[in-house]
Structure 1
Amino acid sequence: MRAAGNAFEQRACEELERAGLKLLARNYTTRHGELDLVMRDGGTVVFVEVRYRIRSGFGDAVMSITAAKQAKLVRTAQLWLAAHPKYAQQACRFDVVTYDGPRDSAKMEWLRNAFEAE
């Protein structure tokens, strides 16, 4: 499943770059969690979570971003900002990019500002 995750992260990165975002980091990992993509959208740092679900038996991909997952993403984003102080004063947001359905026909859904850091 990791190979599929990597493929969809790459796909999302390319789509977001076409939309004008610039890649800052990929797969930033700490003991608290991982940031799939860290991008810049103008003056805003964007932390992007990429999700793929082939079947919706447990809900679609966006439903897998639970409150606990959000908390991990926020904590990991704080650590990334601490490690990259030149971005620490910029606006930030959390986007979620989802793909649902069979791999070849999965359509991208981009949820800008999908949740707020508490």
Structure 2
Amino acid sequence: MFWLPKEWRNTRAKGQHYELLAEDYLKKQGLTPVARNYNCRYGELDLIMKEGLTWVFIEVKFRRQAGFGGALNALTQRKQQRLRRTIAHFVQKHNLAHCILRADYVAIEGQSAPQFHWIKNVL
């Protein structure tokens, strides 16, 4: 086994922790969980939830600090393109072509007292 910096060892666990925090936050806002961590060849959907009849696909990003744009600016064009393709794959696979769809972004900043920024309709 090769050596990894301590902060990289539990990246997946850290990601899942903040996805759960985001899911709890969104549940308090009235959304209903459907699925978590949907993977296909195009990418991953962090959270899939419903708000009434609307299917909501949520990308979650965490940054410890707001420097360099923080979590709010971490949704790059490339990530948006992957998100579009992954959502299209999910919609086709689950026959949701005639449903109301929305892509949201939850940016979480700070560790001890995380701040949530929920941006709707990012695509």
TM > 0.5 fold call? yes
Q: Choose between structure 1 and 2: higher strand proportion.
A: 1
Corresponding residue to 1:92 among 84, 101, 108: 101
Alpha carbons 2:72, 2:117 under 8 Å: kept: no
Unaligned 5+ residue runs, structure 1? none
Normalising by structure 1, report the TM-score: 0.89
1:108 corresponds to which of 94, 99, 116: 116
Aligned 8 A contact 2:55 2:101 in 1 = yes
| Equivalent residue pairs, number | 113
Separation in structure 2 between the aligned mates of residue 106 and residue 15 of structure 1, nearest angstrom: 11
CA offset at residue 16 of structure 1? 0.8
Q: Please state whether the residue corresponding to 2:67 is helix, strand or coil.
A: coil
For 1:38 and 1:94, locate their aligned partners in 2 and report how far apart those are by CA, in whole Å: 9
- Which protein has the larger Cα radius of gyration, Structure 1 or Structure 2? 2
Cα distance in 2 for residues equivalent to 1:104 and 1:74: 32
Percent sequence identity over aligned pairs: 39
Structure 2 segments unaligned to the other structure (5+ residues): 1-10
Give the root-mean-square deviation of aligned CA atoms: 1.2
TM-score, normalised via structure 2 length? 0.86
Distance 1:88 1:45 in 2: 11
Q: Distance in 2 between matches of 1:88 and 1:40?
A: 15
1:64 and 2:74 are equivalent in the alignment: yes
Following the alignment from structure 2 to structure 1, what is the Cα–Cα distance between the partners of residues 45 and 27? 17
Q: Is 1:53 the equivalent of 2:63?
A: yes
